[in-house]
């Protein structure tokens, strides 16, 4: 639950509000709750009920806020910027740095079949060859 408390603190700080669990319906409070629920769901494995418990909301409220956040991510540029800002801070605080493609592949490599491993190696070799070919074509001025 410490992760959720840290996410809550980041969101409250970003929105300059004292308590995201406040029942106020003002836009900044409502948006803060949406951002909190969205990031909590994306960055942790907690259930909607557990996420809601931190801000005194039911699982249905968190689900609704999360769905609305997803909608706003597609249509509202300011909301999208706000989520990205908070998400970056949360990722750094929670020490969940984004993995590189190679790191992600290393984690699942042993679970892949031999055929899948061969296909990935073949594609990687093809991309390397194309990249080397492109490097030769580039003319620096």
89 and 112 in a single domain? The answer is no
* Residue 130 pLDDT class (50, 70, 90 cuts): confident
Q: Which domain holds residue 49?
A: 2-93
132 and 72 in a single domain? The answer is no
38 and 77 in a single domain? The answer is yes
69 and 114 in a single domain? The answer is no
- The residues near 68 (Cβ < 8 Å, ≥ 6 apart) are 34
Q: Model confidence over 18-28: pLDDT tens digits?
A: 999 888 999 99
Give which of 48, 45, 31 is closest to 83, Cα–Cα.
31
23 and 76 in a single domain? The answer is yes
Cα–Cα distances (Å) from 108 to 2, 42, 92, 103, 117, in that order, read 28, 20, 24, 9, 10
Tokens 């300059």 identify what position? 16
Question: Domain of 40: which CATH number?
Answer: 1.10.1750.10
Query: Is there a contact between 83 and 69 (Cβ–Cβ < 8 Å)?
Result: yes
Q: Model confidence over 41-85: pLDDT tens digits?
A: 988 889 999 999 999 999 999 999 999 999 998 999 999 999 999
The rounded mean pLDDT for the chain is 86
72 and 120 in a single domain? The answer is no
Mean pLDDT of 31-44: 92
84 and 114 in a single domain? The answer is no
């Amino acid at each position: 639950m410490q992760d959720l408390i840290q996410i809550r603190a980041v969101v409250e700080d970003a929105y300059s509000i004292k308590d995201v669990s406040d029942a106020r319906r003002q836009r900044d409070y409502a948006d803060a709750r949406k951002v909190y629920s969205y990031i909590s769901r994306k960055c942790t494995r907690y259930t909607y009920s557990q996420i809601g418990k931190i801000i005194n909301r039911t699982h249905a409220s968190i689900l609704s806020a999360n769905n609305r956040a997803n909608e706003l991510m597609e249509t509202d540029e300011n909301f999208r910027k706000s989520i990205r800002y908070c998400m970056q801070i949360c990722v750094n605080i929670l020490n969940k740095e984004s993995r590189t493609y190679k790191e992600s592949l290393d984690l699942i490599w042993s679970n892949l079949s031999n055929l899948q491993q061969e296909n990935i190696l073949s594609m990687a070799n093809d991309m390397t060859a194309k990249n080397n070919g492109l490097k030769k074509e580039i003319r620096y001025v």
